[in-house]
């Protein structure tokens, strides 16, 4: 469905130090630097897959999404989406895809969302019966009954985002790019959005690519993740395998009937946190069974769970590794 080979996107950025002198100098001489937003990444995505793009700010995730959606022209490399070259922006291609950006909106600000839906029906040339059916489904699943006739400007962020998603799906895109779709939403709204997006993928078989800083979005939606760091692909595989690679240790979360001595906990594993009624231990994967057994026999345990390290920590560690690797490479590149 999606094939990316050696994708590069470089920008020329005008650099200028602060101050009047620099401002005046920039009138006659400007210096530009080339920023490598995406620097030679390759991957394939099969039809119906749900893939998460992960990476720190400025990693190149959104740039990649925008290239895939045909908004940006690649500096180098080949990109195909369902047989189309995105940068050509052919009508057939644009009718198959949609990019939802949490920080940009397509809803008409002063008109009710129903008007944007109708506009999209006309622009995407959706047959009336199909439009009616799709709209009924979207309104029901996203609970939009009371929202679609209010002016968009009077909707809350969460309400607006639900309508934004509905507007994006009126033409039933086969490839859905989601760039931070839950940004700024409260927890309950995030859960609603995730459930809806997953249901859409399962029902229609649409391919879904997501970027999000909320790891819960990625964990709930994406069996596969692609990690991009400084424009380069640093991991492509399942989320579980990524966690295993970066943080193979498990966390044993204990609820305790009464406070226990710290020394007792330390004898079982590395203590991540310790409070009067609870404790979290980090242990090697192969020591989990033994640790659990000892904890149950030596501590006043009322509840016990074994978990992976939080995804946020895993990602943070992965990005730190990347940073350290780059610093090392830079040091080696400097002649002695």
Interface with other proteins by CB under 8 A: which residues? 11, 14, 62, 66, 69-73, 87, 89, 91, 94-95, 97-99, 101-106, 108, 110-111, 115, 118-125, 151, 179-180
**Residue whose CB is less far from other proteins, 2 or 72:** 72
Q: Would you say 158 or 223 has its CB closer to other proteins?
A: 158
Closest CA to 97 of 229, 2, 10: 2
Instruction: Tell the smallest beta-carbon distance from residue 11 to other proteins (Å).
Output: 7
Residue 62 · residue 179 · CB < 8 Å? yes
Query: Half-sphere exposure of 318 toward its Cβ, with a 13 Å CA cutoff?
Result: 29
Nearest to 79 by CA among 53, 50, 41, 49: 41
Characterize the bridge pairing of strands 207-211 and 224-229. Answer: unpaired
Cα 48 vs. chain centroid, distance in angstroms? 17
Give 12 or 297: the residue with its C-beta nearer to other proteins.
12
Distances in Å between the Cα of 53 and the Cα atoms of 8, 22, 50, 140, 267 are 16, 38, 10, 29, 39
Q: CA-CA distance, 151 to 111, in Å (whole number)? A: 5
Q: Please identify, using beta-carbon distances, which residue of 91 and 275 lies nearer to other proteins.
A: 91
DSSP characters over 14-77: EE--SSHHHHHHHHH--EEEEEEEEEEEEEEE-TT-EEEEE-STTSSHHHHHHHHTTSS--SEE
Nearest approach in angstroms of CB 312 to other proteins is 22
Nearest-approach distance from CB 99 to other proteins, in angstroms: 6
First-to-last C-alpha distance (Å) of the chain: 48
Considering the complex, state which of residue 72 and residue 283 has its C-beta at the smaller distance from other proteins: 72
**In the complex, what is the shortest distance from the CB of residue 135 to other proteins, in angstroms, rounded to a whole number?**
15
CB of 115 to other proteins, least distance (A): 5
By C-beta, is 104 or 325 nearer to other proteins?
104
CB of 205 to other proteins, least distance (A): 21
Minimal distance in Å, beta carbon 78 to other proteins?
A: 16
Q: Tell the smallest beta-carbon distance from residue 35 to other proteins (Å).
A: 11
Contact status, residue 70 vs residue 94, Cβ threshold 8 Å: yes
Give CA 154 to chain center in angstroms: 28
Q: Which is nearer to other proteins, 2 or 295 (CB)?
A: 2
Site of tokens 């009954």: 145
Measured from the CB atom, the residue of 73 and 325 that comes closer to other proteins is 73
Name the strand (E) or helix (H) holding 78. strand 76-81
């Amino acid at each position: 469905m999606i094939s990316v080979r050696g994708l590069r996107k470089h920008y020329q950025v005008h650099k200028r130090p602060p101050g009047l002198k620099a401002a005046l100098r920039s009138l006659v001489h400007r210096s530009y630097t080339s920023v490598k937003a995406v620097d030679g990444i390759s991957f394939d995505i099969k039809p119906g897959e749900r893939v998460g793009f992960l990476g720190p700010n400025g990693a190149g995730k959104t740039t990649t999404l925008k290239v895939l959606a045909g908004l940006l022209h690649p500096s180098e490399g080949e990109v195909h989406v369902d047989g189309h070259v995105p940068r050509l922006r052919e009508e057939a291609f644009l009718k198959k895809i949609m990019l939802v950006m949490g920080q940009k909106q397509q809803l008409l600000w002063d008109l009710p969302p129903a008007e944007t839906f109708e506009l999209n029906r006309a622009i995407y040339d959706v047959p009336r019966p199909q439009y009616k059916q799709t709209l009924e489904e979207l309104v029901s699943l996203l609970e939009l009954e009371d929202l679609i006739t209010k002016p968009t400007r009077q909707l809350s962020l969460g309400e607006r985002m639900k309508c934004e998603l509905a507007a994006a799906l009126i033409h039933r895109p086969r490839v859905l790019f989601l760039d931070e779709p839950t940004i700024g939403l409260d927890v309950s709204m995030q859960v609603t959005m995730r459930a809806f997006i997953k249901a859409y993928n399962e029902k229609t078989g649409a391919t879904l690519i997501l970027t999000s800083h909320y790891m819960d979005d990625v964990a709930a939606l994406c069996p596969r993740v692609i990690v991009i760091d400084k424009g380069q692909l640093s991991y492509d595989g399942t989320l579980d395998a990524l966690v295993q690679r970066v943080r193979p240790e498990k966390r044993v979360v204990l609820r305790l009937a009464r406070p226990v001595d710290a020394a007792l906990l330390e004898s079982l594993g590395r203590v991540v946190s310790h409070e009067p009624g609870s404790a979290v231990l980090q242990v090697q994967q192969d020591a989990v069974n033994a640790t659990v057994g000892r904890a149950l026999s030596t501590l006043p345990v009322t509840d016990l769970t074994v978990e992976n390290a939080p995804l946020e920590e895993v990602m943070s560690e992965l990005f730190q590794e990347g940073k350290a690797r780059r610093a090392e490479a830079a040091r080696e590149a400097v002649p002695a």
